[in-house]
Structures are given as structure tokens and as C-alpha cells.
């Protein structure tokens, strides 16, 4: 897994990358009450705002961690946004992206670096 300074995690699965937010981010947000996901087929550039999350504390945007095309979204989160709090590193992934430049992941933190970053 790789991690961003914006508290997103990325996991490569074959030719796509699964993206979600970390437990740390989920805890900081508080109870998530709404998630707006991107459309499948959307072309994104790194740092584009592509997901909106609203919690009881605040609204936040999730940025695209890499360039690519959104190939799948986790529709479950539309009906059950609280899953983001229950399992942020597992079932509550946000989207899958087909990277246009896979090498961009090399610039992201590994788990040890991320733990040091949030520590």
C-alpha cells in the first residue's frame, strides 16, 4: 500500500489502483453522513477534487492521488456512508482508477513513512 499526505491509501490490484482514506482520516472526520463519488469513466489529474465527504464535523474533498480514469466506484457508500468509519482501510474504498502514469505511485509514502508522518 501507498499513502498520501492527504491521508489517502492506494492499493494496486492488477492494472487498477483502489483508493480510500486512512483510519487516521476517518477518525479526524468523525461520523460520515454523506459521500459523493465521481462518475465511472471520468478522466482525472492528480490533485483534482473528485470525492466529497460530509461528516457531522465538516465537509472534505478527496483529491485524485494519481492521473487516470475512474473505472469503478463503491456504490455502497452512497447508501451507507457510515462504512467509512467502520472499515476505512477495507470495504469502504471510494474508487478504482486505471493509472495513466503508474510511476506516480513511486512518489508516495509507504506505511512506515506514513506512520511517521502522522506521528
* Grid cell at residue 102: 503508474
Residue 85, H or E segment: helix 83-86
- Specify the pTM: 0.94
- Residue 106 resides in a domain: no
- Residue 26 resides in a domain: yes
- Residue 37 resides in a domain: yes
For residue 115, the 8-state DSSP code is H
Residue 45: the pLDDT is 97
Which residues of the chain are under the pLDDT cut of 50? none
Cβ atoms 19, 12 nearer than 8 A: no
Cβ atoms 105, 97 nearer than 8 A: no
- Residue 115 resides in a domain: no
Q: What CA–CA distance (Å, rounded) separates 68 from 97? A: 6
- Residue 119 resides in a domain: no
- Count of domains observed in the chain: 1
- Residue 113 resides in a domain: no
Range of the domain at 48: 2-101
pLDDT tens, position by position, 40-55: 999 999 999 999 999 9
- Residue 111 resides in a domain: no
Q: What CA–CA distance (Å, rounded) separates 52 from 42? A: 15
Residue 94: the pLDDT is 97
> How many CA within 13 A on the CB side of residue 55?
16
Other Cβ atoms within 10 Å of 19 Cβ, number? 25
CATH of the domain at 54: 2.40.50.100
Amino acid at each position: 500500500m501507498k499513502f498520501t499526505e492527504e491521508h489517502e491509501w492506494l492499493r494496486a490490484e492488477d492494472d487498477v489502483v483502489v483508493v480510500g482514506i486512512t483510519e487516521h482520516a476517518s477518525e479526524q472526520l468523525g461520523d460520515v453522513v454523506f459521500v459523493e463519488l465521481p462518475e465511472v469513466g471520468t478522466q482525472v489529474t492528480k490533485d483534482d477534487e473528485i470525492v466529497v465527504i460530509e461528516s457531522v464535523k465538516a465537509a472534505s474533498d478527496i483529491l485524485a492521488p494519481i492521473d487516470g480514469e475512474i473505472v469503478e466506484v463503491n456504490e455502497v457508500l452512497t447508501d451507507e456512508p457510515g462504512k467509512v468509519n467502520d472499515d476505512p482501510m477495507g470495504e469502504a474504498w471510494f474508487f478504482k482508477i486505471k493509472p495513466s502514469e503508474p510511476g506516480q505511485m513511486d512518489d508516495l509514502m509507504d506505511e512506515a513513512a506514513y506512520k511517521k508522518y502522522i506521528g
